[in-house]
């Protein structure tokens, strides 16, 4: 029976699910008998814990690693870097600095995703485990920056100033440190608080589940609600709403692909050569691109375009 905080079904049914790397290391050192099937040999094991389908470690049986998602992440990195650059050129845009930080954090998660799900680092290795813990911290922090940009857009504090950037940065650091530490404790069992799962095959960790699964969804929902309030209630506009709706749809589709179609693709035309993670990456990056369009549609590019700032 699966209970709240269990990763067992996710690690079995979702190829390239990065947080499974943490539990693989945990099991390897505390309950290695649980590792069976594709997970039995760490030198060939794919990402996951006893997965039904997974991409074998690069070089094993002709495996070229998770090449489709590596390419998708690589192209996404270039796109997000370009978005960050053009964001910086909009000198008078509300939340410019905060939105660039969000883009920077998302770019970091793409880089870490290549390393943690690329299938070229051996399962159970300390390097893969530590990188996965950092990845978890980066994901939690990225969704804070997303929500933080919406809070700043309400102008409750002036954007780009210390009164905005200090709390904004504090919560980034807090999410990174807390989530990374919890993830490391899950994998290495420094303490009994977040240590070995009981029973071992449940792959149980409520804090890790909340920070990597519940928190991102909740932050995205709160962001969408706040932006609806800002665009409709404060700006009294309609057209930008469609950008936010499209971004929400793309994000939801990316999650549906990742958790529902991922295994289907993995078992499809080229079994265990590619999975659905690359589709999820493309959709997530498309959602970020649409969010940038939405942000541009409700902000000024330069002070000269706004009569209030004329002559500054």
Confidence (pLDDT) at 90: 83
- Report if residue 209 sits inside a domain: yes
| pLDDT tens series, the chain, 312 aa | 678 999 999 999 999 999 999 999 999 999 999 999 999 999 999 999 999 999 999 998 888 999 999 999 999 999 999 999 999 888 878 889 999 999 999 999 999 999 999 999 999 999 999 999 999 999 999 999 999 999 999 988 888 889 899 999 999 999 999 999 999 999 999 988 887 888 999 999 999 999 999 999 999 999 999 999 999 999 898 999 999 999 999 999 999 999 999 999 999 978 899 999 999 999 999 999 999 999 999 887 654 444 333 333
3-state secondary structure of 6: strand
- Report if residue 173 sits inside a domain: yes
Confidence (pLDDT) at 292: 96
Residue 106 near residue 79, CB atoms below 8 Å = no
Tell me the HSE value of 285 on the side-chain side, using a 13 A CA sphere.
27
**Cis check: omega of the bond before 204, within 30 degrees of 0:** no
- Report if residue 311 sits inside a domain: no
> Which structural domain range is residue 23 located in?
8-300
**Per-residue tokens: 191:** 């303490």
Can you spell out the DSSP letters for 127-173? HHHHHHHHHHHHHHHHHHHHHHHHHHHTTSS-TTSHHHHHHHHHHHH
- Report if residue 76 sits inside a domain: yes
Give the domain CATH number at 278.
Answer: 1.20.1070.10
DSSP conformational letter for 134: H
Residue 50 near residue 39, CB atoms below 8 Å = yes
CA distance 7 to 260: 15
| CA 178 to chain centroid | 16
- Report if residue 273 sits inside a domain: yes
Report the predicted TM-score, pTM, of the whole model to 2 decimal places.
0.94
- Report if residue 1 sits inside a domain: no
The dihedral built from the CA positions of residue 142, 143, 146 and 151, taken in this order, carries a sign that is negative
Confidence (pLDDT) at 302: 54
Residue 97 near residue 165, CB atoms below 8 Å = yes
Confidence (pLDDT) at 301: 62
- Report if residue 312 sits inside a domain: no
- Report if residue 308 sits inside a domain: no
**Number of folded domains in the chain?**
1
First-to-last C-alpha distance (Å) of the chain: 64
Residue 28 near residue 42, CB atoms below 8 Å = yes
**Per-residue tokens: 92:** 């008078």
- Greatest alpha-carbon pair distance for the chain in Å reads 72
């Amino acid at each position: 029976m699966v209970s709240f905080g269990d990763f067992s079904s996710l690690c079995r049914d979702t190829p390239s699910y990065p947080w499974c790397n943490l539990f693989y290391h945990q099991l390897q050192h505390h309950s290695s008998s649980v590792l069976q099937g594709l997970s039995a040999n760490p030198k060939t094991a794919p990402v996951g814990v006893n997965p039904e389908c997974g991409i074998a470690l690069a070089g094993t049986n002709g495996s070229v690693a998770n090449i489709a998602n590596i390419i998708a992440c690589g192209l996404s990195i270039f796109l997000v870097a370009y978005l960050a650059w053009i964001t910086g050129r909009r000198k008078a845009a509300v939340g410019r600095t905060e939105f660039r930080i969000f883009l920077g954090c998302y770019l970091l998660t793409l880089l870490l995703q290549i390393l943690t799900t690329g299938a070229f680092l051996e399962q159970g290795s300390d390097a893969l485990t530590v990188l996965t813990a950092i990845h978890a911290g980066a994901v939690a922090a990225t969704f804070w920056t997303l929500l933080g940009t919406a809070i700043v857009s309400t102008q409750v504090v002036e954007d780009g100033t210390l009164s905005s950037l200090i709390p904004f940065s504090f919560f980034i650091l807090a999410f990174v440190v807390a989530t990374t530490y919890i993830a490391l404790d899950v994998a290495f069992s420094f303490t009994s608080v977040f240590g070995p799962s009981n029973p071992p095959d449940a792959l149980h960790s409520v804090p890790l589940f909340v920070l990597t699964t519940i928190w991102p969804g909740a932050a995205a929902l709160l962001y969408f609600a706040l932006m609806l309030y800002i665009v409709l209630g404060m700006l009294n506009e309609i057209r930008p709403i469609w950008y936010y709706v499209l971004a929400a749809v793309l994000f939801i589709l990316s999650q549906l692909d990742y958790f529902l179609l991922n295994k289907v693709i993995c078992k499809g035309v080229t079994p265990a050569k590619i999975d659905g993670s690359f589709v999820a990456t493309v959709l997530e990056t498309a959602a970020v691109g649409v969010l940038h369009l939405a942000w541009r549609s409700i902000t000024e590019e330069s002070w000269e375009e706004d009569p209030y700032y004329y002559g500054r």
